[in-house]
Homo-oligomer: A and B are copies of this chain.
Amino acid sequence: MRGGTRARRRRHAAARAPDVDIGALTCLIGYMLRRAQIAVFQDVFRAFAEVGIRPAQFSVLSVLAHNPGRTQSQVAAALGIKRTNFVALIDSLERRGLAERRPAPRDRRSHALYLTDAGKTTVRRLNRMVDKLEAGMIRRIGRDRRAVLLELLSRLAEGESSVTKQSPARHAPRKRGS
């Protein structure tokens, strides 16, 4: 809650400082991407704090809910998370009793990941929070522009590799890794 109040105070402070021109930054996609991400994640952190979950932990829980039994490397790769960070993430979820590692059936050296029953309940609760947060974002940008925003973000997220695949005529968001 404290973070949220501070965040609001900062936003108001910015509104009270019209004598500083940051126009050279606000016309940069990179800068505005970071400002938007920080603003959105302040709300996400505040909501998830109720459950004691961080956004990266949520992304793992969500993937395990839809893809039970995948290996650590598969899930880490799909989420673009470095192996060492990913192992720490799974450790934290296992300690909380939300996820568990089992020996992978085809490769005993690797671990297959599953949600526990508590994990499934937590994901459902987090999904309800996420639905509310997303609805708030959609209200801010306008309902009809959600698909465009997702497509543009997807193109940026794909990085250099998307340059060759890019087709300006396409308006539907691309599916990634599905």
Contacts and interface: CB of A to CB of B under 8 A. Distances in A.
A62 B27 CA distance: 12
Contacts of A34: 37, 41, 55
A21 B150 contact: no
Contacts of A152: 141, 145, 148-149, 152
A66 B24 contact: yes
State the majority secondary structure of interface residues on A: helix
A29 B143 CA distance: 12
A22 B177 CA distance: 6
A154 interface: yes
Given A19-B74, A23-B178, A74-B17, A28 B134 contact: yes
Interface in A1-53: 6-8, 10-44
10 contacts: A8-B159, A11-B158, A20-B67, A20-B74, A23-B175, A28-B134, A33-B37, A38-B157, A40-B156, A149-B149
**Copies of the polypeptide in the assembly:** 2
Interface string A137-178: 111111011101110111111111111001010000101111
B137 A22 contact: no
A63 interface: yes
A26 B173 CA distance: 9
Given A20-B74, A70-B19, A176 B26 contact: yes
Given A14-B78, A20-B63, A29-B153, 11 more contacts: A10-B82, A15-B161, A16-B77, A20-B67, A21-B66, A22-B66, A26-B150, A30-B133, A32-B150, A36-B157, A149-B149
